[in-house]
Amino acid sequence: MKKLSVIVPCYNEEECIPLFYKTVSETVKQLPVELEFVFVDDGSRDRTLPVLRELARGDERVRYLSFSRNFGKEAALFAGLQAAKGDLVSVMDADLQDPPELLLTMYKGIEEEGYDCVGCRRTDRKNEPKVRSAFARLFYRLINRMADTEIVDGARDFRMMTRRMTDAILSLPERDRFSKELFSWVGFKTKWLEYENRERAAGKTKWNFKKLTRYAVGGIEGATTSLLKVNLWMAFLFLLACFGFVVADIVLAALGEYVSALFILLPVLFFIAFALLLGLFVVSEYIKKIFVQVRGRPVYLVRESAEDLRAGEGRQ
C-alpha cells in the first residue's frame, strides 16, 4: 500500500489543528493509502505545540517538528517536504481553507490519470479585502511577464505530488525559497483543480500587508533576473536624450540662434550617465551568471527512464 504524507505548516493554529486532523483522517479513509501527518509548528506562540504532542501521543501516524522560532511558511514547507516519507506527498494549510475532499480527486489524478502533481487554484477572491486582491493580480501579471516559468494566478500551495516530483523540489538547494515558483520550475505534468474560496475554519490569517509585500518582492527577485535589465533601458533612455539635445543644438546653431551653455552641457551629462549605466549593465550580466551558479539548481530533471519502466514504475 502506498503511503500518503500530508504536510501541514502551522503557525498559531491551536483551534484549527484538531478539526483539521479529524476531517483529513476521515476523508483519507476512503483512499487505499497509509496516511502520515507531518505537522510543522513554525514557532507558534499559542498552544499549537501541546496540541500536536497530544495528537502524536494518541496516533502514531502523526509526526511533528517544532521550530525554535517563527521561520515563515516557506521554511515550514521545506522542513515538511524533507521529513515526509510518503510515496505521495500533499501540502495543506491547517485552516481547512484547502478542501480536504479534494484529496480524493487529487489521488485519482495521480494514480489513474497519470499526472505527477495535482494542484488547486481558487477561481475567486471573495472574502478577501479588495486592495489585497488588486495587488495579488498585479503581482501575478508582473511575475508572469518577467519569469520564464508560469506562475498560475490563484494557485494555492495545496497539492498532491509523486515522490519523484517531491525529490525534484528537494533537489533545488536554494536557501531563499519561493515554492510557487519552484513547483512550476521543476516541470512535470500538473493538473489544476478549481474551487471557490472558503473562509478559515477558525483563527485569523497570518499575513499582513507588509509580510505579503515582502513575499511578493522576494518571489520576483528569486524567480527572475530580468529586473537587472532596468540598467540597459535607462542607459538607452539617456542616450536618446543625449541625441535629442545634440540635434536640437545643431538645428539652433544652424538657424543662427543663441545656444546656451546649459544646452551644450546637458547632452554631455546625459552621455556620461549612459556610459555609466551601460557599464553597470555589463556588471549586472555577470551578477546574473553568479546568481544562477550560486542558486545551484540542477541543469535538468528526469521524469522517466527505461529503468523505471523495467522496475514497473513507468507512468502513462
Residue numbers at the binding site for ligand UDP (CB under 6 A): 9-11, 13, 42, 70, 72-73, 76, 93-95, 97, 205-207
Q: CB-wise, 11 or 238, nearer to ligand UDP?
A: 11
Query: Which of the choices ligand UDP, Mg ion, none does residue 206 contact, using the CB cut-off of 5 to 8 A by kind?
Result: ligand UDP
- Among the residue ranges 56-64, 86-94, 177-185, 308-316, the one whose residues contact Mg ion (CB under 5 A): 86-94
Q: Which residue has the cell 549586472?
A: 284
Query: Which of the choices Mg ion, ligand UDP, none does residue 73 contact, using the CB cut-off of 5 to 8 A by kind?
Result: ligand UDP
- Among the residue ranges 96-104, 128-136, 152-160, 233-241, the one whose residues contact Mg ion (CB under 5 A): 96-104
Alpha helices in the chain (DSSP H): 16-28, 48-58, 73-83, 102-111, 130-146, 163-170, 179-185, 209-223, 230-254, 261-295, 306-310
CA distance 162 to 120: 16
**Minimal distance in Å, beta carbon 132 to ligand UDP?**
9
DSSP notation for 262-310: HHHHHHHHHHHHHHHHHHHHHHHHHHHHHHHHHHT--S---S--HHHHH
Number of residues written out for the chain:
316
Query: Which of the choices Mg ion, ligand UDP, none does residue 13 contact, using the CB cut-off of 5 to 8 A by kind?
Result: ligand UDP
Q: Is 181 near Mg ion (CB under 5 A)?
A: no
Q: Is 15 near Mg ion (CB under 5 A)?
A: no
- Among the residue ranges 66-74, 83-91, 97-105, 226-234, the one whose residues contact Mg ion (CB under 5 A): 97-105
Residue partners of 298: CB distance under 8 A and separation at least 6? 171, 172
- Among the residue ranges 95-103, 129-137, 172-180, 269-277, the one whose residues contact Mg ion (CB under 5 A): 95-103
Q: Are strands 155-162 and 190-195 parallel, antiparallel or unpaired?
A: unpaired
CA distance 191 to 63: 28
Q: Is 157 near Mg ion (CB under 5 A)?
A: no
Q: CB-wise, 35 or 94, nearer to ligand UDP?
A: 94
CA distance 12 to 42: 8
Q: Which residues bind Mg ion (CB under 5 A)?
A: 93, 95, 97
